[in-house]
Amino acid sequence: MPGPEHKFTPDDVETILALCDTVIPAVSVSDLIARVPGIDKEVDPATLAAFAAEVPSKNAKYVKEINDLFPSVVSPEKLVELKQVVWLLRNKVGMLVLSGGLTPFHELSPAEREKVLLGWKTSRIPAFRKIYDTFTKVAAGFYMRNSTIGHAAMHYRPKETPAPAEGHFQFQFLKPAELDGIAWDAVVVGSGSGGGVVAKQMAEAGMKVLVVERGQHFDHGEIYSEATALEFAYDGAGFGSNDGGDVAVIQGKVFGGGSAVNWAASLQTPAKVREDWVKSSGIKYFQSPEFQDDLDAVFKQMGVSAPTHNTQNQMLLEGARRMGFARADVPQNTGGGPHACGHDCANLCRSGGKKGGVHSWLVDAANAGAKFITGADARRIDFDTKKGRSARGVVLRFNDGTEKYVKTPRVLVCAGSVVSPALLLRSKIPNSRIGQSLYLHPTNYVHAVFDHATRPVDGQILTSVVGEYADLDGQGHGVRIETGCMQPVLAMCLLQWANGAEAKARILKHPKMVGCIAIARDAKPGKVTIDKAGEPIVDYTVANVDNKSIITGTIAAAECMKAIGAKEVIVAGRGVPEWREGDDWDAWVSKVAASTPGGYGSAHQMASNRMGSSTSNGACDPTGAVYGVRGVWCADASVLPSASGVNPMVTTMAVAAKISRGIVQAWREGRVETKPSKAKL
């Protein structure tokens, strides 16, 4: 059996590349022309021939990333699992279990390998489906990261967004040695949507604030390709997932957090969700004028304004109009200015026009005296047990493995709904609710192909929403349809793999695609636990009720696309072939309705440390303070009572503003603890 070392052996790499060459194989030019009629007129012959012949194992950059990057972005425990699977694929007994044959995978013919992969796709055994999900996504994702030939064949040549003028704000960051001997009024763990708000408000009140970020800062005067951004700005290089491997969990890991990679969508909490939260949490704040004031203040701070629709957003709105579906514009946090950067908005904001943390809240925090340090992973909160288990410091671990102890009586945990509960669990806080109510907004991708150019990466990414099925149970649980980011890695690796030849054909179809997402407000949560090393595990299974919502949205998105002339519709559900013009629509819809959950994504993680009026319904009290200890608050999306139903950035910022007001008031009164007002319960 393989050893636990955190790397792949040459034999491992040989087998992984055999899998990748199966997902993205060499095909004939004639096969591509048959699958994409007219492509020989749209792509020059040399490029088309090179693209048809290219396989991952012959791409030096690809091979290097499989050797170096891939093993570095998964946890040690997951790497051991991967190595065990690869080991099984290399020996006869393992292949007998995994495929029913005796030939090692790398020795099979291309056709035989493809048959094995397709068998895993529809297997009743979850472990087999996990292998399929993992390796098809890895193969496609790393190919789209590294293939210049693939980019040329799909006409992916994004225009550079102009860099901001000279004089843009320059952040200063502390070095680890500069932390010695300093006691802080508050340490903020995480610099995202919640962390930026609390840092600004506490610093402006005069508190000595340190913001700790485990990711790095990238100046917005630089341009970042999708590949570079995924590697350096996302957890696990964008390849994170739930423990079952069937939901891709995409989290920002960069200065500015999720607000830095959010697609600029800025939506306030829906009324049904506010009502549901008051009932489930016992906290009246969510239906109060105070909450609305906080939401409005967030809009004002970021200059949230009406959008300008690109082609794919116009097409979604027109499709919804033709179907008679409720639809609306999605405001943007772009300060009222233009922000046509669909090719790099998810890669951090080059222009500085997106007013998330880095270009708004954190700037104000810095100007008010807050200090920042990056590359610092908060491993544990330290408590004084003689003073009622009161916070007294945080242990930080840096990229080189060294650790520093930072003194503070107040810790604001704002690291996101996966990382925040992991920190609290590592800190051994006596609170059984921590990590126990994780919501993911599970999302399915729907791609439509047209007979004309759609330029899906031009313009703003997400400026429209279809809310026809947003409330399927009377409690605000349902599904919304929006447009998705169509950068190559995200657009292509989230689609379910059909076969090798079709995978390459779909790459060529990209310039004529519209990408939609069906995003559910999930009714049933999962949880966050930690492994032996203290790293987070996302234990989440898409419940039947939520899968029904996703399927409803998937079909509705497909109907919108068909209504405006789609020639082909591709969905990410397992076992569902693409629909092509002329096929039986009703029969295809029936297949979608009966499809197996899987291949979903999540860009919104929420509620894992939810606030509640008591320990029976929350990990945190109505002020955000963690039950069971003193001096620790959650002020990120993890504190929301459940899924927000819409992009949670604005809601998170509003709630963080409320939480930080309470902390500032207590500090001014010489207290650490915040006291919930009975009027707000």
pLDDT computed for residue 576 by the predictor:
83
pLDDT computed for residue 624 by the predictor:
98
pLDDT computed for residue 664 by the predictor:
98
Contacts of range 6-9, beta carbons closer than 8 Å, 24 or more positions apart: 6/71, 6/72, 6/76, 6/79, 7/67, 7/71, 8/66, 8/67, 8/70, 8/71, 8/83, 8/86
Average pLDDT over residues 374-395: 95
The angle, 0 to 180 degrees and rounded to 10, between the axes of the packed helices 92-99 and 110-121 is 50
For residue 482, pLDDT over 50 is answered with yes
Q: How many CA atoms lie within 13 A of 69 on its CB side?
A: 21
Question: What confidence tens digit (pLDDT) does each residue in 310-322 have?
Answer: 999 999 999 999 9
pLDDT band at residue 117, thresholds of 50, 70 and 90? very high
Average pLDDT over residues 446-468: 94
Question: What confidence tens digit (pLDDT) does each residue in 629-676 have?
Answer: 999 999 999 999 999 999 999 999 999 999 999 999 999 999 998 876
Question: What confidence tens digit (pLDDT) does each residue in 35-86 have?
Answer: 999 999 999 999 999 999 999 999 999 999 999 888 887 778 888 888 999 9
Question: What confidence tens digit (pLDDT) does each residue in 131-173 have?
Answer: 888 899 889 999 998 999 999 999 988 766 666 656 678 899 9
pLDDT computed for residue 579 by the predictor:
96
Question: What confidence tens digit (pLDDT) does each residue in 336-363 have?
Answer: 877 777 766 777 777 778 888 898 999 9
pLDDT computed for residue 1 by the predictor:
44
pLDDT computed for residue 5 by the predictor:
62
Three-state DSSP at 300 gives: helix
With a CB cutoff of 8 Å and minimum separation 6, the contacts of 29 are 40, 48, 49, 52
Contact present, 144 and 137 (Cβ < 8 Å): no
Lowest mean pLDDT among 488-492, 615-619, 651-655: 488-492
The residue type found at 64 is K
Which regions of 287-375 does DSSP assign to beta strands (E)? 327-329, 371-374
Question: What confidence tens digit (pLDDT) does each residue in 1-44 have?
Answer: 444 466 899 999 999 999 999 999 999 999 999 999 999 999 99
**566: which DSSP letter?**
-
For residue 677, pLDDT over 80 is answered with no
In order of 93, 432, 648, the CA distances from 281 in angstroms are: 52, 16, 17
Structural domains of the chain in order of their starting residue, each with its CATH number = 1-153 (no CATH), 182-262+274-300+346-436+608-680 (3.50.50.60), 304-338+443-521+543-597 (3.30.410)
pLDDT band at residue 220, thresholds of 50, 70 and 90? low
In order of 291, 319, 393, the CA distances from 458 in angstroms are: 35, 19, 47
Instruction: Give, for 406, the enclosing helix (H) or strand (E).
Output: strand 403-407
For residue 238, pLDDT over 60 is answered with yes
For residue 681, pLDDT over 70 is answered with no
pLDDT, the chain, mean: 92
Q: Which residues are catalytic?
A: 604
